[in-house]
Structure 1
Amino acid sequence: MGTPDFIRELRVTAGRQLLFLPGVSAVVLDDADRVLLARRADTGRWSIIGGIAEPGEQPAVTAVREVYEETAVRCVPERVVVVQGMEPVEYPNGDRCQFMDISFRCRAVGGEARVNDEESLDVGWFARDALPPLEDFALLRIKQAAGDGPTWFSAADPWAVTG
C-alpha cells in the first residue's frame, strides 16, 4: 500500500516536518519454525514484515493486517518481543518520520506465502540458520522471537528524567 492515506493528509498541513508514528513489525514463524521474510521494493533488501498502524487500530491487528497485505499469509500474534523507538528517517522526497516499533512473534495459521502487494519484490520462508543478509533491526526481532525470554526494550535511565 505504500504511504497510508492518513499520512498523505497529514503532510498537506505538516509539510516535511518530523512525524512520530506507530510502527508494527511481525516475526512470523511456521510449524517448522521458519521465518517469513519479504524482499522490500523500496530497498531491495530482505526484512521481516511491518507497517504503520492506522488511526484507532490496535498494534496486534496492524501486525495481522500487514502480514496478510504483503504476503497473503494469515497469522496469529503470540506475544510482544520488542518495543523500540527508532532513529528518525528521511525519505528521498524529504519527508521525515520517527517510528515507535512494537514487534510481535506471530504463528502462521493459513495462506500461501506470495507477493501480495507492490511493497514486496519476493516473499519466502527461511530457516533461522539460513537467513539472507538482514539489517540489525530484523535480526534483533528474530532473535527475541526465537526464545521465550521477556520483551526487549531499551532500559530507562531514571536520572534522565528531570522535573
Structure 2
Amino acid sequence: MAIPDFIRDLRTLIGDKLLWMPGVSAVVLDEEGRVLLGLRSDTGEWSIIGGIPEPGEQPAAAIVREVFEETSVRCVPERVLLVEALQRVVYPNGDVCQFMDTCFLARAVGGEARVNDDESLEVGWFAVDALPPMESFAVARIKQAAMDAPTWFAGSGGELGEG
C-alpha cells in the first residue's frame, strides 16, 4: 500500500510512534443494490473501499478520489453513515496508527469496477446477502447502510448496526 508523502515526512520526525489520522471509507452501492468491495493487498481480506484524505482535502472529496483510484468506479457520496475512532493498528514495519473514520453511503455513477492500483488484488460487486468473508469493520458499515438509519456516532448510545 502506498504511503502518502506527508505521512513519510511525519514519520521522519516521530518514528513509529502513534499517529492519529483521519480516514474515510464508503459503502458504495450500484443500481442493483450491490456493494463494491476490494480484496486488500495488505491484509488479504475483502473490505469496503477507504483511504486517507490529503492535507486540506474534504472527507467527501477524499472518498470520491479513493474509490476511483482503487476501483475505477465513479461515485457520489449521499450521506454520512458513521463517525468512529478505530482500534490502533500496528503495521509490519512497526508504525502505529489510529484512524478517525468517516464512513459514507455512496452511489456509483460510472466506471467499470476493476483493480486500478496496487492496494487491491481484486475488486467486485457483491449482493448484500452474499458477501465474502470480511473484516467486522466492513460488515458493520454495510449493515448500517442497509438499515437506512440515522448517522451513527460512537459513544452516543446504541451499538453499531442496531435498528
Shift of residue 27 of structure 1?
Answer: 0.5
In structure 1, the residue matched to 2:124 is 124
| Superposition misfits of 4+ residues, deviation over 6 angstroms | none
Deviation of 1:82 after TM superposition, in Å, equals: 1.2
CA apart distance, 1:135:
1.2
The CA distance in 2 between the partners of 1:38 and 1:5, in whole Å, is: 23
Q: Which runs of 5+ in 1 are unaligned?
A: 158-163
What residue is the counterpart of 1:160 in the other structure? none
Q: Report the secondary structure of 1:129's partner residue.
A: coil
1:48-88 deviation digits (Å, cap 9, x = unpaired): 00001110000000110000000000000000001100111
Match of 2:78 in 1: 78
Shift of 1:136: 1.1
Provide the residue aligned with 1:139 in structure 2: 139
Distance 2:13 2:63 in 1: 28
Q: Corresponding residue for 1:69?
A: 69
- 1:1-163 to structure 2, matched below 5 A, reads 2-156=2-156
TM-score by length of 2: 0.94
Q: Distance in 2 between matches of 1:150 and 1:81?
A: 7
Distance 2:147 2:31 in 1: 15
C-alpha RMSD of matched pairs (Å):
1.1
Q: Quick check: which has more Rg, 1 or 2?
A: 1
Q: Distance in 1 between matches of 2:24 and 2:41?
A: 18
- The aligned amino acid for 1:88 is R
Count of paired positions: 157
Distance 1:113 1:16 in 2: 35
